[in-house]
Amino acid sequence: MGTLYLVRHGQASFGSDDYDRLSELGARQCRRLGEYFGARGARFEAVYTGMLLRHAQSLAAIVDGFGGDMPQPVALPGLNEYDAESLVRTLHPAPMPSPHTPDGVRYHFRVLREGLLQWMAGQCQPAGMPSWAAFSAGVADALERIRLQHAGQVLIVSSGGPIATAIGRVLDTPPASVVELNMRMRNSALTEFAFTPKRHSLVTYNALPHLEGVDPADWVTHS
């Protein structure tokens, strides 16, 4: 039986002109995760990522903390995140409230949640994004590749959307549950599947074992 570790990227740059890069804290979160893997003697048979900068930067920080050899990563478009800004603009084309205030952040994620539900139901099609069916199929293809080609420890570094979608497929949950899984996912969080050639099974979700003993207020983030 193999083990698949799905890691959400470290804290990115929410509220800036370019979300798709890690903050200093995001790099530290992922470095600690690499240290956690290294201390437990992890031996990865394969490593997969999405194709976004924050995925590559998160993996680089994990490798730095790991301190050992890892396989050359394979980047898969099916592990890319949806375009949150495009989803928000579809429902709210006017300028959004400032993302630097608590009310602004809450409003942003309220609109995003509704946009995700409409996209998944086929009620909207944000510019530049695939359909929900195509997005979900990309995640399913990545899971099938791992299930059929590997038997040991496999690492995926991706985003909340693809990871929540993977969980939803494994547990056969409705779209609304996938959205809630996505909204709850923390930066650098670890989700674990066991897998055989026939199927994946969920073992843990959204865990932060590498951050045990630290002050959550300083280390635990969601965006």
42 & 146 share domain = yes
141 & 60 share domain = yes
Beta strands, E only, 80-166: 153-158
Structure token pair of residue 35: 């240290």
136 & 26 share domain = yes
Q: What is the 3-state secondary structure (H, E, C) of 4-23?
A: EEEEECCCCCCCCCCCCCCC
> Residue 129 has what pLDDT?
94
Q: Which residue(s) pair with 5 in the sheet?
A: 155, 192
210 & 107 share domain = no
160 & 114 share domain = no
Structure token pair of residue 18: 């370019």
142 & 174 share domain = yes
76 & 146 share domain = yes
- What gap in Å lies between CA 20 and CA 52, rounded to an integer? 7
Q: End of a domain among 107, 128, 149?
A: 128
> Residue 75 has what pLDDT?
97
158 & 53 share domain = yes
* pLDDT tens digits along 65-74: 999 889 999 9
Q: End of a domain among 109, 128, 147?
A: 128
> Residue 107 has what pLDDT?
86
> Residue 156 has what pLDDT?
98
92 & 121 share domain = yes
Q: End of a domain among 128, 148, 163?
A: 128
Quote the number of domains for the chain.
2
User: Range of 37's domain?
Assistant: 2-81+130-219
150 & 49 share domain = yes
Q: What is the CATH number of the domain that holds 185?
A: 3.40.50.1240
73 & 94 share domain = no
> Residue 92 has what pLDDT?
83
14 & 43 share domain = yes
153, 43 contact by CB (below 8 A): yes
Task: Quickly count: other Cβ atoms within 10 Å of residue 96's Cβ.
Answer: 14
Per-residue pLDDT of the chain (223 residues; tens, 9 = 90+): 999 999 999 998 755 566 788 999 999 999 999 999 999 999 999 999 999 999 999 999 999 999 988 999 999 999 999 999 899 999 888 777 777 788 887 888 899 999 999 999 999 999 999 999 999 999 999 999 999 999 999 999 999 999 999 999 999 999 999 999 999 999 999 999 999 999 999 999 999 999 999 998 899 998 8
